[in-house]
Amino acid sequence: MSMDGPDPQGKAVPGRRLLPERVAYLRDRLAPARPLRILDVGANPINTPDYDPLLTLGGCEVWGFEPEEKAFAALEANPRPGAHYINKAVGAPGKGTFHMHPQNGLGSLYPIREQSVAFLGHPGWYRPEAPQAEIDLVALDDLDDLPPPDLLKIDIQGGELDVIRHGRQKLSQAVCIIPEVRFYRMYEGEPLWGKLDVELHEQGFVLHKLMFAKPSMVANSQAKALKGKAVRSQLIDGDAVYIRNPEAPGEWSDAQWTQLAIAAGTVFDSFDLAIHCLDRLEERGVIGPEVAEGFLQFLPDWMKS
């Protein structure tokens, strides 16, 4: 029995070996009118996004927003078919203060909280001398040239709530939102997971799963004698998957069920949800019953009874 291993970020990636075949099967059988449309807010290439294989296979289009100049330059230096990058900051419209950080990925609209990172054993993350810059923030709903996404991925160190709160119209037909959620406050004044969860539920989304949760070792006198990967008990953050509430299928269009099937089957690997979407499409006469059954051949053997 073989299992696929983790990706470079350490997250378990089930069934990625069969991803090209799964993408081809879903696109052939579902024949979507257009590729899956993904909005990536905070597209800093410090990590490889979960949609990257789908983009490589031509199964999605990506609109990525990245305000940091170095990160944006890195994106522009690696052009990809179907990917469009915009050097703008998204959030509550108006002026904002961006707190830069020498460590890539820690810059934020919120300053790092000294007491928090000290407790987490990373006092060096607190950089009161780090430069700040005034930036212009634009609301998702004010971006008239941006097509409405099927899926929003967002990771901007605390600014997720403002983006989603000011994007209600733009996100009104989206079927999935994948935000970074904070369990333990790292930045002064940043909203924690609870407020984001309330906003997403108010917009019609429900929590589907956590893709991963990142813990840290709490600062202690024996830290140097402990293996950091083995002794990490304080949750910091993680990536959550929210889907549009599926309990009223009559309110969904065929296109929404189609795009969620593709996203679930190729981006965040919820294969039972993908089959559920295929079942809904079968009930509507869009596809035949053989499509859901045929999907099973593109899952690893260890997943099947």
pLDDT in tens, 145-167: 999 999 999 999 999 999 999 99
pLDDT tens per residue, range 229-248? 899 999 999 999 999 999 98
Two tokens at 10?
A: 């350490």
Q: What pLDDT sits at residue 104?
A: 84
pLDDT(187) > 50:
yes
Could you please report the per-residue DSSP string of 226-265?
S-TTT---EEEEEEEEEEE-TT-GGGS-HHHHHHHHHHHH
- Split at pLDDT 50, 70, 90, the class of 15 is low
Q: Where are the alpha helices (DSSP H) in the chain?
A: 19-30, 52-56, 69-76, 114-119, 160-165, 193-202, 254-266, 271-283, 290-295
Average pLDDT, integer, range 81-108: 94
Q: What pLDDT sits at residue 16?
A: 72
pLDDT(32) > 60:
yes
Nearest to residue 237, comparing CAs of 294, 287, 193, 277?
Answer: 193
Which of 7-11, 130-134, 284-288, 300-304 has the largest mean confidence?
284-288
Rounded-to-integer distance, Cα 188 and Cα 110, Å = 6
pLDDT(96) > 60:
yes
Output phi, psi for 133, to 5 deg.
-145, 135
pLDDT(6) > 90:
no
151-154 and 176-182: which strand pairing? parallel
Domain 34-216+227-251 class, CATH top level: alpha beta
DSSP-derived 3-state class of residue 208:
strand
pLDDT(90) > 50:
yes
Q: Are 135 and 96 in contact (CB under 8 A)?
A: yes
- Split at pLDDT 50, 70, 90, the class of 216 is very high
